[in-house]
Amino acid sequence: MSRNAESTAFRSALEVVRGVEPRVADAIAAELADQRESLKLIASENYASPATLLAMGNWFSDKYAEGTVGRRFYAGCQNVDTVEALAAEHARELFGASHAYVQPHSGIDANLVAFWAILADRVESPALRKAQARQVNDLTEADWFALRRELGNQRMLGMSLDAGGHLTHGFRPNISGKMFDQRSYGTDPATGLIDYDRVAEAAREFKPLILVAGYSAYPRKVNFRIMREIADSVGATFMVDMAHFAGLVAGKVFTGDFDPVPHAHIVTTTTHKSLRGPRGGMVLCGPELADQVDRGCPMVLGGPLPHVMAAKAVALAEARRPDFADYAQRIVDNAQALADGLLRRGATLVTGGTDNHLVLIDVSGYGLTGRQAEQALLDSGIVTNRNSVPQDPNGAWYTSGIRIGTPALTTRGLGAAEMDATAELIHTVLNQTTPGTGPDGAPSKAKYVLDPAVAESVGKQAADLLTPFPLYP
């Protein structure tokens, strides 16, 4: 599609929306303006292509399609079958998986599908068998009691939150923490790296049903071959959540021991982030879990979103093109250039650098909390998010870290020189920001002081840096 055609399509769509609710059209336009002018460094965000975005705004949104390809509970799903089959085909070919399930609406949904598939495969429970067979209404109170007891006794071992893990890997605020008895493995206090011997020791002691690998804020590769050996040694199912780095797997930047698909029993992912698709989820697995995974709807998912599956098919087709591999490599090159620029300016980075798409800055060296740093950077046109660091003294709300990532800026075309300039802007803001005080005069973990002239200057430099790299021309 030509750029003129793309512009015409989006302008026309906005005018149609404006005719019904102009405030929504204004908010959409304002969001595009904000994204055009800001350095987007949130590691979990990206820019989907116009083709992917347009694929979501169509008549598939009006169709119910519970079930799977060829086995729907609604009539008239032949076109949904086409796009779902295409998305699954692209996913299998892209990742070298034998089975792909593209219905999950999000990463947590993909993880829930995986958890229930593993439980159904591993736990001998008549109640669970009934539920998986779509006989939920036939469950007696005794069945439900047995089901709750059995599921509550199952164990999960995953990466701790402060080491870079994710809420959906068994932590109490999330449903996974209510389903499983969970224990965490951390990282070496001296290096911030995974200590595989300690993971093996924890697995031998805890004997989990599921060993989970994957992360949202760990800036290094994971050796999935070793993790699978650990899982096998205790009879655990090995699950990998590759939501953050799926694009690096798709682009063949992570191969061999660092590609989870050949080593894991089951792999989950989002389809946005580094994969650069629509917001959604996906599950990859072998034939032994395929039947259970395909029961995700209606077991834990609502009706599939056919318009989003259509967008997934488009994005996965884009990821199979040769230029995507180049893009994936540039993500890592840019992250390393950004890390190097920060280190040269005196910043402290968790693990001392990065192997992937993200960098984790310990902002305590600037005398700040993550919340103060996040807001000061936002004032200056740099969009990041606060994040815990290992053994974080400020907890998960205020934090001591800032997580930054390069997928979005790499999509816009920025390279090593721009990453160094970005490092300078980040350092300038953090170096010029000081902690504020509360109403009682006591030090605050949230309030901060930054000269508005500094924020304005950095914001202008950020916008100038982006000028040669227009977003959606």
Instruction: Please give the full DSSP string across 19-70, using - where no structure is assigned.
Output: TT-HHHHHHHHHHHHHHHHSEE--TT-----HHHHHHHSSGGGG----EETT
**Active-site hit among 84, 109, 162, 241:** 241
**Active-site hit among 273, 295, 371, 386:** 273
Q: Are 206 and 230 in contact (CB under 8 A)?
A: no
- Cα separation, 421 vs 341, in Å, equals 8
- Cα separation, 176 vs 156, in Å, equals 9
Q: Are 343 and 349 in contact (CB under 8 A)?
A: yes
Which residues 6+ apart lie within 8 Å of 15 measured at CB?
A: 25
Give tens-digit pLDDT for 64-111.
999 999 999 899 999 999 999 999 999 999 999 999 999 999 999 999
**Active-site hit among 64, 225, 333, 472:** 64
Give tens-digit pLDDT for 315-367.
999 999 999 999 999 999 999 999 999 999 999 999 999 999 999 999 999 99
For 35-38, which contacts have Cβ atoms below 8 Å and span 24 or more sequence positions?
35/471, 36/466, 36/470, 36/471, 36/472, 37/381, 37/462, 37/463, 37/466, 38/381, 38/382, 38/383, 38/462
Mean pLDDT of 292-300: 89
Q: Is 66 a catalytic residue?
A: yes
Query: Predicted confidence band at 133 (pLDDT cuts at 50, 70, 90)?
Result: low
| Mean pLDDT computed over every residue of the chain | 92
Q: Is the pLDDT of residue 473 over 80?
A: no
Check residue 181 and give its pLDDT. 82
**Active-site hit among 237, 270, 369, 399:** 270
Task: Output the CA–CA distances (angstroms, integers) from residue 280 to 50, 85, 283, 439, in the order listed.
Answer: 17, 16, 11, 43
- Cα separation, 386 vs 174, in Å, equals 20
Q: How much of the chain, in percent, has pLDDT values that exceed 90? A: 79
Quote the tokens at residue 107. 């990463």
Q: Is 241 a catalytic residue?
A: yes
**Active-site hit among 130, 279, 345, 447:** 279
Q: Are 436 and 448 in contact (CB under 8 A)?
A: yes
**Would you give the DSSP letter of residue 236?**
P
Check residue 163 and give its pLDDT. 77
In order of their start, the domains of the chain are 59-319 (3.40.640.10), 323-466 (3.90.1150.10)
Q: Is 279 a catalytic residue?
A: yes
Q: Is 64 a catalytic residue?
A: yes
Nearest to 110 by CA among 255, 262, 242, 306: 242
Least confident residue range of 37-46, 169-178, 275-284: 169-178
What's the whole-model pTM score? 0.91
- Cα separation, 62 vs 305, in Å, equals 9
Nearest-10 crossing angle of helices 196-206, 224-233? 20
**Core vs surface per residue 206-236: b (16+ CB within 10 A) or e:** bebbbbbbbbbbbbbbbbbebbbebbeebeb
Least confident residue range of 147-156, 319-328, 420-429: 147-156
Q: Is the pLDDT of residue 439 over 90?
A: no
Check residue 301 and give its pLDDT. 87
DSSP 3-state of 429 = helix
Q: Is 434 a catalytic residue?
A: no
**Active-site hit among 6, 45, 66, 229:** 66
Q: Is the pLDDT of residue 142 over 90?
A: no
- Cα separation, 202 vs 181, in Å, equals 14
